[in-house]
Amino acid sequence: MLRTILSISGKSGLYKLISRGKNMLIVETVDNTKKRLPVHGTDKVISLGDIAMYTDDEEVPLRQVFANVKAKEEGKPATIDTKKASANDLHEYMAAVLPNYDRDRVYNNDIKKLITWYNILVNNGLDNFDEPTEEEQVEEGAE
C-alpha cells in the first residue's frame, strides 16, 4: 500500500499514484478533497515504501515504524501535537515508538513528518501497515 503513496517535495500532504504518463505522473491528494494533479519529471517524488528510519543496528522500513505508532496509539491518530511539541517531547515519543532509533541521524523534522504522515494516513483510512503485499515484494526484489 505504501508503494503508491507519494511525498512530493515542495507540496504539503501525501498523494496517491493514479496513473503514469509520458514524463509525468497523475496523483490524487490523500485527504478528503481527492484533487488530481500532474507531477512532472522535474519534481522530486518519493514513495513512502522506499523510506526507512535509521536505527543503531539497521534501517527499519517506514511501514514497520507506522505499525509501531499504530500499536502505541491503538489505531487512532497520534496524540502528540507536532506544532507545539518540544524537541525533547518529539524524541521521547520516537523512543517509545522505535526505542533503538539513531538519535544522531533522525532529526526533529523527520519525527514531525513521520507523525504528520501517520495522521494523514489514519484519518483517511489508509492504515494497513502490515507486511508488503506479494506485488510489492516482487517490485522490491526487482530493484
Q: What is the pLDDT of residues 94-124, one digit of tens each?
A: 999 999 999 999 999 999 999 999 999 999 9
Separation of alpha carbons 86 and 101, rounded Å? 18
> End-to-end distance of the chain based on CA atoms, in angstroms?
17
**CATH numbers and ranges of domains, the chain:** 2-48 (2.30.30.730), 51-123 (1.10.10.1650)
Q: What is the pLDDT of residues 29-86, one digit of tens each?
A: 998 888 999 999 889 999 999 999 999 999 999 999 999 999 999 999 999 999 999 9
